[in-house]
């Protein structure tokens, strides 16, 4: 939905009927070409009082006075010309001085003249201007061949901040620490996500700590490990070949299950949690068992009474090259065979759900394909809406075919814009598939503007004259509103999310093509249809010239041909009369005003409340469709495994004298601060230095002696091989960096993830010793810290841009004030109601919040300017007149955009439904502000 910011006089140029006939009272300067008072109107075509002026000029003086329009006072003609200092006769300077306004037409006037010339050329050579966009689309459309269906859209690159702190921390870890998947695998020591297959087992009884249930779980575990893949060359990929190993054996899928498989007589009533000591060897169970019920305290642990769920993790090697490819092949085979395997096992006592490290990527790619049929449906709905909007019983002025071509022209812009950007190498990401739905709704508005301008021209004028008049009146409006909408999109390029950048580039560029094709190809088609009007009018007026051969052509070109409207008959749409005669008077009544004020207060309270309850960040499960197998997996994970989060590295980033007692005390103090944090478990910290100190003390060696400390590390690593990956010895007598591991807890919600991340980083900064904290999950957690900042920055920049535009193009400070008010109010409302519609503040919704700035600007600018420009004596009459001129165009524009995106409500994926939800909120609240709140609030000033 777009609206004009034209400050020229959009009233038709009419000569007086006679020298003695009085001119109508001075009319206010219109903001743009004005609303179409006939069918197919739009907000951008808003000739404020222009058509009314035309009618009054054709009335007798008595009729004009009866209509409430007095004779023109001296000096008003100069005032209408747009000059600020046209003097009035002294006798009337006091009476009408309040009507003098300064109007800036330094931009509009030359643009209007230029477009008048362009319209003349389009009317003179329509076939040339029609072929230009068609040929350009044919050429640029070839760029669509560059869409790669096989290219993998890496989620981390598109939906996480580009320069996030976690990515810098990951680079540090990769430069200073190594891992070994083939012999000493440790998942929390990895700097990146690993290949894995995960199964969550939920018991149908109160606890799975029963022999019969563990037997069934064990049967499932063995079936998974027995899976093998036969490749095209006949070779097989066994699980034992691709699994991550520890001391030569595949890492157990679950430590407790593995212990039970080794000893079927294991006493399941003596297990402690979260650490279970078996034969003096500690076995960590945190995160491997869910739905736990704990009993008596036994040392730092508690007795495990019940466990409702168990996690089975099958880690695979992630080495580059052939091993990595084999791991992916095995995982794909696991996904393909799991349902069959589950059915063959006939599991009766447990429920299982599954997930792999490839699942999000594969499901995301599959989901994006489901939106293509919706794209076709959207075009059908928009075509039907356009036909209905442009249908007329007047066979001459009927514009159904023109409306259909207008939608086709919008499709051409999509092909051209996308093709051009693909040709120059701009990545096409899944979120861009939302763009055509938005462009459909916004693009057809330009078509309505052109049609509405054409319908105000005289049938008997030449095509060149009619096109020249149309372009001079509406092309400026289309230009300015296109600039504001494109400007709103291009502000999104500043964001830290690549997916948002690409969406804004594609949508903004395509809107430019949509604008260009409207003023060229669509205008040319409209000119050709004008020739049909002339022929049809001639046939209808002189039916005797028709012969039998052309009767079928007449039916085709002049459908419907049962009526012929008078050439100069006023064309006022019934909806405009509804807003003038019914809605407007009802809205400005005292009771209605009180109700509107109370309604706005309620709206504001609910919106502000919702703003504080909006969830931040993109839940990665939402990248898959609703019926995906990963959805129940995450549901079970949230229900039974909410307590323990990732194990976080605490990294000493610089050289430290670990043998120095005071240095160790400083480091221990920092670790104690971490352990005292609400999101960290006190008893699950793993630190090589603590174990090493105990190791040396057990051997009665001096921990504080440098040589002893350095020389004994090698023997310590032999006994504790995993710790060799935690100490970076850069020289024989120097440890350049090392790391500890803390266990996070209670971070199941996005809000807690954000708080945990910020608090741990803050603790690392406060430590006297230089520290960093890192886990590969922080790459995604960083979006929680970046999304709010990015959204606020983009909204502020876009709002300032819109405010500058309003100040430049709307020479009335009150209008600019109400534009700012409406933008702020709509953004608050949309953000607040996102919380009630289960929409997170993420990279997807951030796009829409930026978009709503442009739409809020369009709705509010014209309503407020129509009010302040009205010559009516009372504020209530000014409000009614503004609604009369703009009520129906605002409503129609909102409807066209909603229809364009409404099909996305049927999408099975969050990423597409969210786009519909927020666009619906934007258009609904924008229309409510334009049609209810602002018209009422303006009457209070």
10 Å Cβ neighbour count for 62? Answer: 8
pLDDT at residue 53 greater than cutoff 50: no
pLDDT at residue number 767: 94
pLDDT at residue number 393: 65
583 in Cβ contact with 883 (< 8 Å): yes
Contacts 24+ apart (CB under 8 A), 208-214: 208/307, 208/308, 208/309, 208/310, 208/350, 209/268, 209/269, 209/271, 209/304, 209/306, 209/307, 210/268, 211/264, 211/268, 212/349, 213/349, 213/350, 214/257, 214/260, 214/268
pLDDT at residue number 196: 93
pLDDT at residue number 76: 35
User: Model confidence at 553, in pLDDT bands (50, 70, 90)?
Assistant: low
pLDDT at residue number 319: 76
Share of the chain above pLDDT 90, in %: 37
How many CA atoms are closer than 13 Å to the CA of 925, on its beta-carbon side?
29
> Distance (Å, rounded) from C-alpha 104 to C-alpha 506?
33
pLDDT at residue 258 greater than cutoff 50: yes
pLDDT at residue 586 greater than cutoff 50: yes
User: Model confidence at 163, in pLDDT bands (50, 70, 90)?
Assistant: confident
Task: Calculate the average pLDDT of the chain.
Answer: 80
392 in Cβ contact with 364 (< 8 Å): no
- Among 228-232, 757-761, 810-814, which stretch is predicted with the lowest mean pLDDT? 810-814
Domains parsed from the chain with CATH numbers: 194-356 (no CATH), 363-540+573-612+784-939 (1.20.1640.10), 645-774 (no CATH)
* 320: exposed, middle or buried (Cβ count in 10 Å: 0-12, 13-18, 19+): exposed
The tens digit of pLDDT for each residue in 664-694 reads: 999 999 999 999 999 999 989 999 999 999 9
The tens digit of pLDDT for each residue in 60-118 reads: 333 333 333 333 333 333 333 333 333 334 433 333 334 444 444 566 678 788 899 99
The tens digit of pLDDT for each residue in 858-878 reads: 777 767 777 877 788 888 998
Q: What is the mean pLDDT of residues 897-923?
A: 84
466 in Cβ contact with 126 (< 8 Å): no
pLDDT at residue number 397: 67
pLDDT at residue number 101: 43
pLDDT at residue number 64: 36
The tens digit of pLDDT for each residue in 182-239 reads: 888 999 999 988 999 999 999 999 999 999 999 999 999 999 999 999 887 888 899 9
- Among 92-106, 167-181, 697-711, 892-906, which stretch is predicted with the lowest mean pLDDT? 92-106
84 or 641, greater pLDDT: 641
> Distance (Å, rounded) from C-alpha 639 to C-alpha 754?
20
Structure tokens at 319: 């080495």
pLDDT at residue 895 greater than cutoff 70: yes
> Distance (Å, rounded) from C-alpha 911 to C-alpha 217?
36
The tens digit of pLDDT for each residue in 824-838 reads: 898 899 989 998 988
> Distance (Å, rounded) from C-alpha 757 to C-alpha 784?
9
> Distance (Å, rounded) from C-alpha 443 to C-alpha 466?
23
pLDDT at residue number 770: 94
């Amino acid at each position: 939905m777009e609206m004009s910011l034209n400050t020229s006089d959009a009233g038709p140029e009419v000569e007086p009927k006679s020298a003695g006939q009085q001119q109508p009272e001075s009319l206010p300067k219109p903001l743009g070409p004005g609303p179409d008072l006939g069918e197919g109107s739009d907000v951008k075509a808003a000739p404020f009082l222009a058509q009314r002026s035309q009618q009054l000029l054709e009335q007798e003086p008595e009729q004009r006075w009866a209509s409430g329009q007095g004779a023109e006072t001296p000096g008003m003609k100069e005032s209408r010309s747009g000059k600020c200092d046209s003097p009035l006769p002294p006798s009337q300077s006091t009476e009408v001085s309040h009507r003098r306004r300064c109007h800036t037409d330094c931009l509009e006037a030359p643009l209007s003249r230029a477009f008048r010339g362009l319209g003349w050329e389009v009317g003179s050579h329509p076939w040339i201007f029609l072929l230009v966009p068609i040929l350009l689309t044919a050429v640029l459309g070839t760029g669509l061949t560059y869409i790669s269906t096989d290219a993998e859209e890496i989620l981390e690159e598109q939906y996480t901040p580009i320069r996030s702190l976690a990515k810098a921390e990951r680079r540090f870890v990769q430069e200073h620490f190594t891992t070994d998947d083939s012999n000493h695998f440790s998942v929390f020591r990895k700097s990146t996500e690993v290949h894995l297959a995960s199964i969550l087992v939920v018991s149908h009884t109160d606890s799975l700590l029963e022999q019969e249930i563990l037997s069934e779980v064990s049967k499932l575990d063995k079936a998974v490990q027995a899976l093998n893949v036969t490749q095209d060359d006949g070779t097989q990929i066994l699980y034992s070949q691709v699994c991550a190993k520890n001391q030569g054996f595949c890492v157990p899928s679950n430590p407790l299950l593995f212990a039970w498989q080794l000893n079927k007589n294991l006493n399941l009533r003596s297990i402690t949690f979260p650490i279970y000591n078996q034969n003096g060897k500690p076995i960590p169970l945190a995160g491997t068992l869910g739905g736990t019920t704990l009993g008596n305290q036994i040392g730092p642990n508690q007795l495990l009474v019940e466990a409702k769920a168990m996690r089975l993790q099958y880690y695979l090697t992630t080495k580059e090259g052939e091993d990595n490819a084999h791991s992916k092949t095995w995982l794909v085979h696991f996904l393909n065979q799991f349902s069959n395997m589950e059915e063959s096992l006939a599991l009766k006592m447990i429920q299982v759900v599954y997930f792999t490290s490839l699942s999000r990527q594969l499901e995301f790619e599959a989901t994006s394909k489901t939106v293509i049929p919706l794209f076709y449906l959207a075009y059908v709905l928009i075509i039907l809406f356009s036909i209905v909007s442009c249908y007329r019983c007047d066979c001459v002025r009927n514009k159904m075919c023109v409306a259909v071509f207008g939608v086709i022209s919008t499709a051409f812009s999509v092909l051209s814009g996308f093709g051009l950007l693909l040709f120059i190498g701009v990545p096409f990401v899944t979120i861009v598939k939302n763009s055509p739905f938005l462009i459909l709704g916004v693009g057809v508005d330009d078509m309505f503007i052109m049609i509405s301008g054409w319908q105000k021209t005289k049938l008997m004028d030449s095509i060149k004259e009619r096109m020249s008049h149309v372009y001079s009146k509406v092309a400026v409006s289309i230009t300015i509103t296109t600039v504001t909408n494109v400007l709103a999109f291009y502000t999104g390029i500043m964001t830290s999310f690549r997916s948002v950048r690409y969406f804004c580039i594609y949508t903004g560029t395509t809107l430019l093509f949509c604008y260009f094709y409207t003023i060229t190809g669509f205008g040319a088609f409209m000119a050709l249809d004008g020739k049909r009007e002339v022929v049809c009018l001639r046939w209808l007026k002189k039916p005797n010239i028709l012969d039998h051969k052309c009767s079928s052509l007449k039916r085709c070109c002049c459908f419907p041909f049962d009526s012929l409207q008078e050439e100069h008959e006023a064309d006022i749409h019934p909806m405009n009369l509804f807003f003038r005669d019914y809605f407007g008077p009802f809205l400005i009544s005292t009771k209605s005003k009180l109700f509107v004020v109370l309604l706005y207060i309620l709206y504001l309270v609910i919106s502000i409340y919702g703003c504080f309850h909006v969830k931040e960040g993109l839940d990665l499960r939402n990248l898959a469709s609703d019926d995906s197998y990963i959805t129940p997996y995450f549901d079970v994970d949230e229900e039974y495994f909410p307590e323990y989060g990732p194990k976080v590295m605490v990294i000493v980033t610089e050289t430290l004298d670990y043998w120095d007692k005071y240095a160790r005390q400083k480091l221990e103090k920092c670790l104690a601060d971490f352990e005292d944090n609400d999101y960290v478990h006190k008893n699950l910290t793993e630190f090589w230095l603590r174990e090493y100190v105990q190791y040396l003390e057990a051997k009665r060696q001096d921990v504080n002696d440098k040589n002893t400390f350095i020389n004994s590390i090698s023997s310590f690593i032999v006994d504790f091989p995993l710790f060799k990956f935690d100490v970076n010895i850069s020289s024989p007598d120097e440890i350049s960096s090392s790391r500890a591991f803390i266990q996070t807890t209670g971070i199941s919600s996005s809000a807690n993830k954000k708080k945990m991340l910020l608090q741990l980083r803050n603790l690392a900064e406060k430590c006297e010793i230089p520290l960093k904290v890192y886990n590969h999950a922080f790459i995604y957690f960083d979006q929680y810290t970046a999304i709010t900042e990015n959204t606020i920055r983009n909204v502020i920049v876009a709002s300032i841009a819109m405010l500058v535009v309003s100040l430049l193009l709307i020479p009335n400070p009150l209008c600019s004030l109400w534009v700012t008010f409406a933008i702020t109010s709509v953004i608050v409302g949309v953000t607040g109601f996102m919380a009630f519609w289960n929409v997170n503040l993420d990279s997807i919704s951030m796009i829409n919040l930026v978009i709503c700035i442009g739409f809020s600007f369009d709705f509010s600018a014209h309503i407020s300017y129509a009010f302040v420009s009205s010559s009516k004596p009372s504020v209530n009459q000014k409000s009614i007149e503004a609604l009369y001129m703009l009520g129906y165009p605002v409503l129609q524009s909102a409807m066209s955009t909603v229809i364009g995106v409404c099909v996305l409500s049927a999408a099975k994926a969050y990423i597409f439904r969210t786009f519909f939800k927020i666009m619906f909120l934007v258009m609904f609240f924008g229309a409510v502000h334009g049609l209810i709140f602002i018209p009422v609030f303006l009457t209070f000033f």
